[in-house]
Amino acid sequence: MIEQQYIDLFNDYRDEIDANSVAGLNRHRDAAFEAFNRSGFPTSKSEDYKHTDVSRVFDCDLGLNLRNVPVPVDPYEAFKCDVPNLNTNVYFLINDRFYTNGHHQGPLPKGVFVGSLQLFSETHPDIFERYYAKIGDYSGNGVVAYNTMFAQDGFVIYVPENVVIEKPLQLINILRGGVDLNVNRRILIVAEKNAQVKLLVCDHTVDDVQFIVTQVAEIVADRDAQVDFYELEENSIKVKLLNNVFAEQAENSNVTVSTITLHNGFTRNNYRFRLLGEYAEAHIGGLAICDKEQHVDNYAFLEHATPNCHSNELFKYALQERSTGVFCGRILVDKGAQKTLAYQNNKNLVTSDEAKMFSKPQLEIYADDVKCSHGLTTGQLDQDALFYLQARGIPEEEARMLLMVAFTQDVVDLVRIDSLQDRLVQLINKRFRGELMRCGNCHVCK
């Protein structure tokens, strides 16, 4: 039983876990532990994990920094992947701890909190208790339960009513460790009525060791709120990322989540959206560019619980060499959720005989006055378009690059930060050409 070593670890070190965290997080550990004992890690016996056996990921010896031993790293030196012309306030998580020595580029609006989850739980206890681990349901999700057992800090954004954060925020996750390491981090975003915020999350690996990362992100969008949550993964091939994103939306709210995987080892992204208020709008996008033995699995479950809501899902994969892509998308339209508009699309470009793509779109509709659709295509480069470009003097290799970059464009278009869009196009171009970003001490870039 793979889970037993983690059950023993939790029991043996429970006092130290609590001592290096705060009461707000500690209060949830017992219930999460019971849930984990019941469910364990997901295995390929589950239909939703048929092609991604999460339990095998944890079948290894890992260290956990439960005593909060300081990690020697200057994040400003370790991370130099700045996006030109992107004016952001930058924050760091070192493994799963908030970096408290950061210097930011400008003040935040009155009442806004951006920073450590530990500190937020002590300075805003009522708000923390209202939202932390509430929509991130761990009762039937062993990875979320495991994360809730061991998480000791994280990152939080709280935007009070009628406040707009004009400047995008940027969170850099730095992975650093001298031994194979398990990292369990949390992100909480609360946007109250008519509030707005944009967050870009970047992953960055510094050291050449194995990292098993669990991440739970909870997004709460109150009435008329707007939240943009973008993730850019550029991890080393030794990183296994298990990511869970939860969102709950009130009336007339607008949430966009887009995850772009440029470089990774093994990634599983779970998206769980609930549209609870009328006229709520959700956009979920994903792009994975994989080669070698890289693996990306996106699972999206979106529930329309009330009438007149709109959702759009778009996931694209470009698979090369021996890589594997998995997509499972499920849209649930509850009884009474009339006038729902829901669209789901999955397009895959497979350029190698050894690459594999598994896709399973699903619609489950219990209302009769809705417009819902899903589409799925998997194929190779358009030979007619390739011939057309070559006929106009463009070399075959360059023509292939142009077509592959063009294939990704509509996922990039979901991003509502113009300068970030431009930079993503550059990064995608480099990725297809086998080039990587220059990131200072980054292991990926060496």
How far are the Cα atoms of 245, 269, 290 from residue 43, in angstroms, in the given order? 20, 15, 23
What confidence score (pLDDT) does residue 178 get? Answer: 85
What confidence score (pLDDT) does residue 440 get? Answer: 47
Written as one letter, the residue type at 313 is E
Percent of the chain residues topping a pLDDT of 70 = 96
Query: 299-309, pLDDT tens digit by residue?
Result: 999 999 999 99
Instruction: Round to whole Å and give the CA distance between 204 and 38.
Output: 33
Instruction: Round to whole Å and give the CA distance between 416 and 227.
Output: 11
> What region, left, alpha or beta, does residue 38 occupy, with left being phi > 0 and alpha being psi -120 to 50 degrees?
alpha
pLDDT band at 433 (very low <50, low <70, confident <90, very high): confident
Query: 96-106, pLDDT tens digit by residue?
Result: 999 988 776 67
- How many CB atoms are closer than 10 A to CB 419? 15
Q: With 90 as the cut, is the pLDDT of residue 107 above it?
A: no
192: Cβ–Cβ under 8 A, 6 or more apart, which residues?
159, 160, 161, 163, 222, 225
Instruction: Round to whole Å and give the CA distance between 253 and 275.
Output: 9
Does residue 51 contact residue 297 with C-beta atoms inside 8 Å? Answer: yes
What confidence score (pLDDT) does residue 75 get? Answer: 79
pLDDT band at 443 (very low <50, low <70, confident <90, very high): low
Does residue 333 contact residue 301 with C-beta atoms inside 8 Å? Answer: no
Instruction: Round to whole Å and give the CA distance between 205 and 187.
Output: 19
Q: With 60 as the cut, is the pLDDT of residue 441 above it?
A: no
What confidence score (pLDDT) does residue 73 get? Answer: 77
Return the higher-pLDDT residue of 405 and 79. 405
* pTM given for the model: 0.94
Instruction: Round to whole Å and give the CA distance between 260 and 392.
Output: 32
Show contacts of 407-412: CB within 8 Å, 24+ apart.
407/316, 407/318, 407/347, 407/349, 408/287, 408/289, 408/316, 408/318, 410/314, 410/316, 411/258, 411/260, 411/285, 411/286, 411/287, 411/314, 411/315, 411/316, 412/260, 412/287
* Strand order, beta sheet including 341-350: 97-98, 89-94, 169-175, 196-205, 226-234, 254-263, 281-290, 310-319, 341-350, 371-379
What confidence score (pLDDT) does residue 158 get? Answer: 98
Q: What is the mean pLDDT of the chain?
A: 92
What confidence score (pLDDT) does residue 74 get? Answer: 79
Query: 279-294, pLDDT tens digit by residue?
Result: 999 999 999 999 999 9
| Helix, strand, or coil (residue 303) | strand
208: Cβ–Cβ under 8 A, 6 or more apart, which residues?
236, 238, 443
Residue for token pair 């929509």: 135
pLDDT band at 436 (very low <50, low <70, confident <90, very high): low
Query: 126-170, pLDDT tens digit by residue?
Result: 999 999 999 999 988 999 999 999 999 999 999 999 999 999 999
Does residue 181 contact residue 213 with C-beta atoms inside 8 Å? Answer: no
Q: With 80 as the cut, is the pLDDT of residue 439 above it?
A: no
Tokens of 30: 């017992």
